[in-house]
């Protein structure tokens, strides 16, 4: 800040005025230097928006439990010349197979003295596999391997008894349909002897 004095110095009165103005200017200059700076206005920060909440994770999708296999309860009776001589039975899932072997050892009296001497193992092996189970019927695949005796009597020229000759029989049924409550029959050997399988089946409860 500056002070201007517009009078010429010519008298004592004028000199006192000049001195007074000089003192005034000095005081004003000092006041200007020591005056506090104007207050600074503090602008508060603008409020920031809260972050949007993350979406809740979707619930995990559970895979459906695998369906339990259908179980078939089956029974197979072996009829030889109309007489029940053997039975197989079991509970098997559709698409699975089960194999079982039954043995029947027989002894025959042979020779001229007709003494028990000839032993024959009449083995029977069956493989049963349910293919499907529908309301209209249950389909079974069956494979059979049998050893049976020839019923024709054999003798020597002297009249002595010979043991019956065993023979092998193999049969396969790719799809025997069995209606629940109505057994189905499958003929394996037509005669000498007749050999028939009588099969029943139903869906088993879990």
> What pLDDT is recorded for position 28?
47
CB 172 within 8 A of CB 129: no
**Contact between 176 and 142 (Cβ < 8 Å):** yes
Q: CB of 97 within 8 A of CB of 128?
A: yes
Give the pLDDT of residue 3: 47
Mean pLDDT of the chain: 79
- pLDDT (0 to 100) of residue 106: 84
Q: Supply the pLDDT for residue 150.
A: 79
Which pTM does this prediction carry?
A: 0.65
Q: Which residue has the tokens 């993350």?
A: 54
pLDDT < 50 stretches in the chain? 1-25, 27-29, 31-32, 35
Q: What are the structure tokens assigned to 79, written together?
A: 């009829």
| Helix, strand or coil, per DSSP, at residue 60 | coil
- pLDDT tens for each residue of 117-153: 778 889 999 999 999 999 889 999 999 999 998 777 7
């Amino acid at each position: 800040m500056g002070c201007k004095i517009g009078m010429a110095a010519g008298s004592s009165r004028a000199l006192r005025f000049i001195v007074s103005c000089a003192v005034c200017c000095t005081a004003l200059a000092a006041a200007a230097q020591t005056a506090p700076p104007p207050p600074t206005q503090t602008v508060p920060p603008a409020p920031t928006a809260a972050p949007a909440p993350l979406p809740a994770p979707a619930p995990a999708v559970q895979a459906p439990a695998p369906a339990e296999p259908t179980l078939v309860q089956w029974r197979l009776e072996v009829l030889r010349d109309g007489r029940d001589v053997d039975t197989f039975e079991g509970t098997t899932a559709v698409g699975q197979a089960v194999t079982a072997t039954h043995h029947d050892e027989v002894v025959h009296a042979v020779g001229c003295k007709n003494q028990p001497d000839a032993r024959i193992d009449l083995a029977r092996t069956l493989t049963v596999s349910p293919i499907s189970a529908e309301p209209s019927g249950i389909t079974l695949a069956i494979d059979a391997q049998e050893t049976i005796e020839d019923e024709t009597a054999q003798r020597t020229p002297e009249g002595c008894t010979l043991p019956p000759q065993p023979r092998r029989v193999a049969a396969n049924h790719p799809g025997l349909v069995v209606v629940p409550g109505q057994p189905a029959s499958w003929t394996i050997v037509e005669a000498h002897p007749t050999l028939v399988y009588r099969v029943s089946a139903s869906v088993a409860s879990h």
